[in-house]
Amino acid sequence: MHSYISRRLVRSCLLAAGIAALISAAPETARAQGLSAERDAVFAQMFRDPANEALMLEYARLSIELRDFEAAVATLERLVDANPTAQEARYELAVAYFALGSHEVAQYHMDIYTSGATLTPAEAENAARYQEAIDERSASTSLGGYVHVGAAYLSEEGETGLSFGAGLNHEYDLGGAHETYWQTLFRMNALRFEDSPGNDQTGAYLRTGPVFRLTGSTFGPEINPFIEAQVIEDDGTDDQTTISAGIGYENTLTAFWAIFGELEGGWFERDEIDVSGHLVQAQIGVTYRPSRETRLRFSLRGNGEYVDGAGTDQHRVGARLDLSHRFAPGLDALPRDWMARAHLSADIEEFDTGREDDLASAGASLRAFVTDAAYVELGASYFQRLSSDPVFDDDTTLFSLKIGTEF
């Protein structure tokens, strides 16, 4: 009975994720086509009236939204040559050059823009955001990250504990014409339950490797060879160490769409049952952004673990859907910057012994930035494992409250 229910659950989750991705994609495909048609119409008008600054600016804005930055730059350069005091054109030109990876030229035009006429609060905020991005990309090295602490509650067991987390992202500019840099990512998370130490968990993750932007622009295809190490200590099951190497690929195709993929292989060891072996895993996916504030990410993934000597090989395939949205409530009594996130995933795991497990998880969080860096976050996550061997069944709901800061 469990196996029948679990298969239906997993396949329903996979179907729901796929349908959600398709539903969200359809209107944005139409929107991209609409933007392209609108730009063509503006170009036809501009061809008849080549000195019309309003048409030139509109054509450049549409080109930027469609990620055709070269077309935007050519038009805006012609505009500012004819009218050096055109503030809006200066701003859009800085944005376009930044997207093309020409940070010094972007800085030149941003300086003219910010030193010109008095900016409105919204214009000043936009300029400050791009100035921060220009500074970050122009620096030979940059470091960012987060730290958070909080409380956690396991509803099935009525247990309350503490959570900790930290992360670092370091980038070092390697120079060259193609915006090559070395990126190192580190993440660590921990849960501690005083009255239920069997539920304690600690995880640490490190990835490092160069990133090659193939076109030399901020957007466009990039390749990331990497090495990776991961340690998971779970007092309720096995501790596991993984070391692997792989390559990642990401390509921003349009203003709305990007594709990504990853392939890696390596070695693993599980301490409690004293087994080790090699693994292979891969994922492909698509990201779509209807706006700067909203992102939808859908991925298909699979992995295999092959034990050296006596042991059980296992394989897993599944899908995951992630959604994030940044917004401002518009009420003076509330923080003005909020981030909502949600995910849905489903996997099927098979073992050489004949055992089959169906896994499903879902989660949501709401983060409020009380300052530009400090935040408070409420979250809930649910995990279910339904196995053909009921002894492995699991059903866990975790609620959390975190206080943290980004830097």
The string of pLDDT tens digits covering residues 357-367 is: 999 999 999 99
d(CA 305, CA 279): 4
Bridge partners of residue 109, in order along the sequence? none
CATH 1.25.40.10 placement within the chain: 49-138
Average pLDDT over residues 32-52: 87
Cα–chain center distance at 286: 11
d(CA 314, CA 344): 23
Select 142-406's CATH number: 1.10.443.10, 1.10.10.10, 3.30.43.10, 2.40.160.40: 2.40.160.40
- pLDDT, one tens digit per residue, over 103-135 is 789 999 999 999 877 888 878 888 888 888 787
What homologous superfamily does CATH list for 49-138? Tetratricopeptide repeat domain (1.25.40.10)
- pLDDT, one tens digit per residue, over 133-182 is 787 767 778 899 999 999 999 988 889 999 999 999 999 988 766 668 89
How many of the other CB atoms lie within 10 Å of CB of 218? 20
Say which residue the tokens 């292979």 belong to: 280
d(CA 175, CA 213): 11
Cα–chain center distance at 323: 10
What Cα–Cα distance (Å) separates residue 186 from each residue in 147, 171, 224, 228? 12, 12, 16, 10
Task: Please tell me whether the overall predicted TM-score, pTM, comes out greater than 0.75 for this model.
Answer: no
* CB-side neighbour CA atoms (13 Å) of 76: 27
Question: Which residue did the predictor score with more confidence, 27 or 230?
Answer: 230
CATH 2.40.160.40 placement within the chain: 142-406
